[in-house]
Protein backbone atom coordinates (compact mmCIF):
# COMPACT_ATOMS: atom_id res chain seq x y z
CA UNK A 1 0.00 0.00 0.00
CA UNK A 2 1.37 3.41 -0.97
CA UNK A 3 2.42 5.71 1.86
CA UNK A 4 2.03 9.49 1.76
CA UNK A 5 3.71 12.24 3.72
CA UNK A 6 2.46 15.84 3.83
CA UNK A 7 4.81 18.27 5.54
CA UNK A 8 4.16 21.92 6.33
CA UNK A 9 7.32 23.93 6.89
CA UNK A 10 7.53 27.55 8.00
CA UNK A 11 10.59 29.75 8.23
CA UNK A 12 11.31 33.45 8.52
CA UNK A 13 10.86 35.16 5.14
CA UNK A 14 14.56 36.08 5.24
CA UNK A 15 15.43 32.33 5.26
CA UNK A 16 12.94 31.33 2.56
CA UNK A 17 15.43 31.28 -0.32
CA UNK A 18 17.87 29.03 1.56
CA UNK A 19 15.07 26.65 2.53
CA UNK A 20 13.70 26.65 -1.03
CA UNK A 21 17.11 25.83 -2.51
CA UNK A 22 17.71 22.96 -0.08
CA UNK A 23 14.22 21.55 -0.68
CA UNK A 24 14.77 21.59 -4.44
CA UNK A 25 18.08 19.76 -4.05
CA UNK A 26 16.36 17.21 -1.80
CA UNK A 27 13.58 16.83 -4.38
CA UNK A 28 15.99 15.79 -7.11
CA UNK A 29 17.77 13.24 -4.93
CA UNK A 30 14.53 11.86 -3.48
CA UNK A 31 12.91 11.38 -6.88
CA UNK A 32 15.83 9.08 -7.76
CA UNK A 33 15.07 6.76 -4.81
CA UNK A 34 13.66 3.43 -5.94
CA UNK A 35 10.65 3.52 -3.57
CA UNK A 36 9.72 7.16 -4.24
CA UNK A 37 6.55 7.69 -6.29
CA UNK A 38 6.30 11.48 -5.93
CA UNK A 39 8.06 14.36 -4.19
CA UNK A 40 6.51 17.75 -4.81
CA UNK A 41 7.63 21.00 -3.20
CA UNK A 42 5.24 23.96 -3.03
CA UNK A 43 5.62 27.53 -1.79
CA UNK A 44 2.49 28.54 0.13
CA UNK A 45 0.92 31.32 -1.93
CA UNK A 46 -0.25 33.58 0.89
CA UNK A 47 2.46 32.86 3.45
CA UNK A 48 6.01 34.14 2.88
CA UNK A 49 8.34 31.47 4.23
CA UNK A 50 5.67 28.76 4.02
CA UNK A 51 6.29 25.48 2.19
CA UNK A 52 4.20 22.37 1.64
CA UNK A 53 5.77 19.04 0.69
CA UNK A 54 3.78 16.15 -0.73
CA UNK A 55 5.63 12.85 -0.85
CA UNK A 56 4.53 9.34 -1.85
CA UNK A 57 6.43 6.11 -1.41
CA UNK A 58 5.67 2.50 -2.31
CA UNK A 59 5.19 1.76 1.39
CA UNK A 60 6.23 2.92 4.87
CA UNK A 61 9.53 1.07 4.51
CA UNK A 62 10.29 3.21 1.46
CA UNK A 63 9.81 6.33 3.55
CA UNK A 64 12.09 4.93 6.26
CA UNK A 65 14.74 4.28 3.59
CA UNK A 66 14.33 7.89 2.46
CA UNK A 67 14.95 9.14 5.99
CA UNK A 68 18.13 7.02 6.15
CA UNK A 69 19.50 8.43 2.88
CA UNK A 70 22.56 10.71 3.12
CA UNK A 71 20.83 13.47 1.16
CA UNK A 72 17.98 13.57 3.75
CA UNK A 73 20.49 14.21 6.52
CA UNK A 74 22.39 16.78 4.46
CA UNK A 75 19.55 18.73 2.86
CA UNK A 76 16.68 18.34 5.33
CA UNK A 77 18.09 17.67 8.80
CA UNK A 78 21.13 19.93 8.54
CA UNK A 79 20.09 22.60 6.00
CA UNK A 80 16.31 23.00 6.34
CA UNK A 81 15.25 22.05 9.86
CA UNK A 82 17.54 24.51 11.67
CA UNK A 83 15.91 27.38 9.73
CA UNK A 84 12.30 26.42 10.50
CA UNK A 85 10.06 28.23 12.93
CA UNK A 86 7.36 25.56 12.66
CA UNK A 87 7.02 22.09 11.19
CA UNK A 88 4.11 19.67 11.06
CA UNK A 89 3.95 16.33 9.30
CA UNK A 90 1.01 14.06 8.46
CA UNK A 91 1.51 10.41 7.49
CA UNK A 92 -1.18 8.54 5.56
CA UNK A 93 -1.83 5.31 3.71
CA UNK A 94 -3.08 5.95 0.19
CA UNK A 95 -6.49 4.38 -0.43
Check if the beta carbon of residue 5 is closer than 8 Å to that of residue 79: no
pLDDT of residue 55: 98
From first to last of its 95 residues, the chain has per-residue pLDDT tens of 899 999 999 999 999 999 999 999 999 999 999 999 999 999 999 999 999 999 999 999 999 999 999 999 999 999 999 999 999 999 999 99
- Say how many domains are in the chain: 1
Burial class (CB in 10 A: 0-12, 13-18, 19+), 42: exposed
Domain-located, residue 12:
yes
What CATH number did the domain enclosing 29 receive? 3.30.70.100
Say how far apart CA 9 and CA 11 lie, in whole Å. 7
Domain-located, residue 29:
yes
pLDDT of residue 1: 86
Residue span of the structural domain in which 14 resides: 3-48+57-69+80-93
Domain-located, residue 8:
yes
Say how far apart CA 68 and CA 42 lie, in whole Å. 23
Domain-located, residue 34:
yes
Amino acid sequence: MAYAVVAHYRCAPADAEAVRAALLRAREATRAESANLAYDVHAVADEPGGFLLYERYEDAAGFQAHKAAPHFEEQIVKAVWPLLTDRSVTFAEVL
